[in-house]
Amino acid sequence: MPAVTETREAVEKLGLSSYKWGFETDIDMDVAPKGLNEDIVRLISARKEEPEWMLEWRLAAFRSWLQMKEPEWAKVSHPPIDYQDAHYYAAPKKKPGPKSLEEVDPELLRTYEKLGIPLHEQAMLAGVEVPEGEQARMPVAVDAVFDSVSVVTTFRKTLEEAGVIFCPISEAIKEHPELVKKYLGTVVPVGDNFFSALNSAVFTDGSFVYVPEGVRCPMELSTYFRINSRNTGQFERTLIIVEDRASVSYLEGCTAPMRDENQLHAAVVELVAMEDASIKYSTVQNWYPGDENGRGGIYNFVTKRGACRGARSKISWTQVETGSAITWKYPSCILQGEGSVGEFYSVAVTNNHQQADTGTKMIHIGKNTRSTIIAKTISAGNSDSTYRGLVRVQPKASGARNFTQCDSLLIGDQCGAHTVPYIECRNAQARIEHEATTSKISEDQLFYCRQRGLSEEDSVGLIVNGFCRDVLKELPMEFAVEAQKLLQISLEGSVG
Amino acid sequence: MSQFLDISGLNARIDADGQEKEILRGVDLVIPPGEVHAIMGPNGSGKSTLSYVLAGREDYEVTSGSVSFQGKDLLEMEPEERAAAGLFLAFQSPVELPGVNNANFLRTAVNAVRRARGQEELDAVNFLKTVRAAAKELGMSPDMLKRNVNVGFSGGEKKRNEVLQMTLLQPSFAILDETDSGLDVDALRIVAEGVKRLRSPQFSALVITHHQRLLEYIVPDRIHVMAKGRIIHSGGPELAQQIDREGYTKFLAEAA
C-alpha cells in the first residue's frame, strides 16, 4: 500500500517517543479555579457572555448531574474521578469577538502548524506549490478549539456565501439563538447520561454548523480539538443541522500533550438531518493514550448521536480511535424518517494499557429504515477492547434492515477483545444480520510479507490496514492517509 | 573464494508441541551462480524446512552448520534482509492477506527491496506498466491485480501470483517450493516458462518438487535426493527419470 512508505518515514521521525503530538504550548491562559459548583457554571456562562436562557439551561443540567451516578456497565476500569480536582475553564488570554488570523496569538498558530493543521487560508487559496507526485490539498475549513475555546475558524466568508454557517458554538448562541434554542439538547437530552449532563453544564466551546435547504456544503468542514492546559477537562459541544436536501461532510481530530495525570474529555455531539439530507461525520481520535505502563492519558467519555428526522435522510459515522487511555463512546443514529439510513464504520486500536469500550446504537423507528455497522477492533499489548452495540427495531419500523459485522484482531497474547451486541426487535418484518470474527495476525502472514522484503513494522501495518480497509475507505481521502499512518504508529513495538 | 550459495553441515529443529524435533540433520549443498538445482525426496524428508530455514523463518532453530550466500552469513540476516540480498521463496501454500490489494502489495514489496538495494523506487505509472506486462506473460487476468492478495485465488492462480512476484522482485536466488503442485499441464508450462525467462548467469534456483514433469520444462543442472534431513544422493538431470521409474527406495537403502 502506498501509505506504507510514508508510514515508515513517519515512524522513523518519531524517534524514541511514539506520540509526536505530546508537546506543550507555553501560553498565557485565563484559568478558572479548580472545582465544580454553580458558581463555576455561572462563571463559564459569564466568560462566554451568554444570554440568560443559556445560563438557566446549564444550571438545570448541573442540578440533574448532581442527582446522577457515573455509569458502571462499560468494560473499563479506572480509579474514581475527582470532579472537584479539575479546572472547567481554560482559555488563551486574548480579546474575544470576531477573529481573524492576524488576531490569533502566533504561539497558537505555531502549535497548529506543528500539528499539521492548515489554518492559513491565504496560503491554501493561493495554491501553495505542491511537491511533485503529491495531490493538491483540497481546501478544508477548520475550527480550531484550544482547551476551552475556539481560537479561529477559517473560510467563513466562502461558506457564508454558500449560506452555510460554520462557527464556534459560543458564537452561535449569541448570533443564532433561534437555531440553537430549537435544536440544542433535542438529540442528546440534558439528562441522557452522567457525562452528557456534565457536558451540558460546563461545555465551553465546540462547533456549530447549519446547512440551509438544498445546499451542498462546498468544502469539508473540520474541527481540531487540542487539550493543552494541565488538570483541565475539555467539554466541547457540537451541533450540526442539515436542512432538506442539503449535505455536509465534517471531520474532527484531537490531540493532547503527554502528561502523567489523567485528563477528562467529555464531549457531546448532536446531528440533525432533515428530509433527503445527508451528514457524514468522521473522527480521527488521537488523544494522548498514556505511556507504555499505563500512566496518564485522556479519559474520553463522549456522547454522539444523530437524528435522521426527515424521510430518506442519512447519517454516517466513521471513526478511527487510536488514542485515549479510556474510550467510552457510542455514536448512534435515531432513524425516525421513513427510509432513512444510518451507518457506523469504526476502527478502534488499543495498545499497552489502553481500554476501549465503543460501538453504536441504531434505533429503527420509521418504516424501511436501514443501518449498517462495520466495527474493526485491534488489540495489542495489555489492552482491552470491547465492541458494544445496540440494534433496536420499534414496532412501526416495518421493512427495517440491519447488517452488523464485528471483526477483532489480536496482536500478542496479553490483550483482550470482546463483542457485546444487543438486538431488540419488536417488528416481525425486520431483517437483522450479525457477523463476527476474531483472528490473530498469523506468523504465516508476517513471514510472507517479510520474505517479500517488508520490515516487520511495515508488515504489521500492511496487514492491519488490510483488516481495516472496509472502514478506512469510508474516510475522506486525506484523513484516510493520516489514519493509516496512525494505525501503524499506535501499534509500534507491539510485535516481536 | 566462497561459492554463490554454500550450505554446510546444516542442522535445524522445530519446537512441535513442546517437543524438539530434529528435521535437518547435516545438509551439505553448494549452488554455483547461474545454476538451477532440484531437490526431490519423499514426504517429510525436510525439503520445505530447508526452504524455510534459508528464507529465515523464526520457528526453526538452527543448531549447527553454516550458510553463506554471496559471501555473507545468511543465517545472521533478517528475512527482509535476505529478500533484499536477492533471495526469493515461492511458497508451497501462498498466504492470504485480506483487505490488501494485490497490486499495492506488489508495489510495496518491489519498492522495499529496491530501496534496500539502493535502486530508485518505481512510481505508480511505471510500476503498473511493468506489472501488467508481467501478469500478461503469465496468463493472469488483469483482475487478479485488483483483488486482495491470494484471497479467493484458485490453487493455480496462487502459484502464478508467486511467479509474478518473483519476476518483479528480480531475485538472484529463488527457491520454488513445490510450485508445480496443484497445477494442470497448461498452468505448469506457463509457470515453468516464467521461471525459464529468469534464467541467466546472475540467477540461480533451487526447485523442490515431487514430480519429474516440472523438470522436463525447467531442466536443472543438478538433482539432489533428500531424505531424513540430509542430501543422500546427487546427480545430473537424468536422475529425474530414474526416480520416476524406480522411486527412492534404492537411494534410501544405499544411504542406510
| pLDDT tens digits for range B139-166 | 888 889 999 999 999 888 999 999 999 9
CA distance B157 to chain A (A): 17
Find the residue in B nearest to A448 (Cα). B95
Spatial separation of the C-alpha atoms in residues B164 and B169, rounded to whole Å: 9
Does A132 contact B at CB distance below 8 Å? no
Domain presence at residue A495: no
Give the tens place of pLDDT for each residue, A55-65: 999 999 999 99
Mutate to test the interface with A, among B48, B58, B105, B123 (most CBs of A within 10 A): B105
Mean pLDDT within A278-283: 94
The total number of structural domains in chain A stands at 1
Confidence (pLDDT) at A432: 95
Find the residue in B nearest to A450 (Cα). B80
Inspect the interface and report whether the beta carbons of A466 and B84 lie closer than 8 Å. no
Beta-carbon contacts of A426 under 8 Å, excluding residues fewer than 6 positions away, are A392, A393, A394, A395
Crossing angle (nearest 10°) for helices A194-202 and A52-66: 150
User: At B114, which CATH number?
Assistant: 3.40.50.300
State which residues form the domain around A105: 3-126+136-490
Give the CA count within 13 Å in the CB-facing half-sphere of A196. 19
Confidence (pLDDT) at A260: 65
Inspect the interface and report whether the beta carbons of A2 and B88 lie closer than 8 Å. no
Residue A344 pLDDT greater than 50, yes or no? yes
Does A2 contact B at CB distance below 8 Å? yes
User: Three cell numbers at A123?
Assistant: 496560503
Domain presence at residue A49: yes
Give the tens place of pLDDT for each residue, A290-322: 777 878 788 888 999 999 999 999 999 998 888
State which residues form the domain around B139: 5-255
Q: Which of A24-33, A259-268, B130-139, B225-234 has the lowest mean pLDDT?
A: A24-33
CA distance B95 to chain A (A): 6
Residue A469: pLDDT band with limits 50, 70, 90: confident
Domain presence at residue A99: yes
Q: Which residues are A254's β-sheet partners? A: A225, A285
Contact yes or no for A436/A377 (Cβ under 8 A) = no
Residue A2 pLDDT greater than 50, yes or no? no
What are the chain B neighbours of A456 within 8 Å (beta carbons)?
Answer: 78, 80
- Running DSSP on this structure, what letter comes out for residue A32? P
Domain presence at residue A131: no
What's the whole-number average pLDDT of chain A? 82
Burial class of B235 by CB neighbour count within 10 A (0 to 12, 13 to 18, 19+): middle
CA distance A382 to chain B (A): 24
What are the chain A neighbours of B55 within 8 Å (beta carbons)?
Answer: 447, 451
Domain presence at residue A145: yes
The total number of structural domains in chain B stands at 1
Residue A222 pLDDT greater than 90, yes or no? no
Q: Which of A28-37, B145-154, B209-218 has the highest mean pLDDT?
A: B145-154
Spatial separation of the C-alpha atoms in residues A496 and A493, rounded to whole Å: 7
Domain presence at residue A283: yes
Domain presence at residue A496: no
Spatial separation of the C-alpha atoms in residues A146 and B51, rounded to whole Å: 57
Beta-carbon contacts of A275 under 8 Å, excluding residues fewer than 6 positions away, are A244, A245, A310, A311, A312, A313, A337
Q: Indicate whether this complex's ipTM tops 0.90.
A: yes
Which residue in A444, A451, A466 is closest to B79 by CB distance?
A451
Q: Which residue has the higher pLDDT, A117 or B151?
A: B151
Beta-carbon contacts of B185 under 8 Å, excluding residues fewer than 6 positions away, are none
Q: What is the number of CB-based contacts under 8 A between chain A and chain B?
A: 91
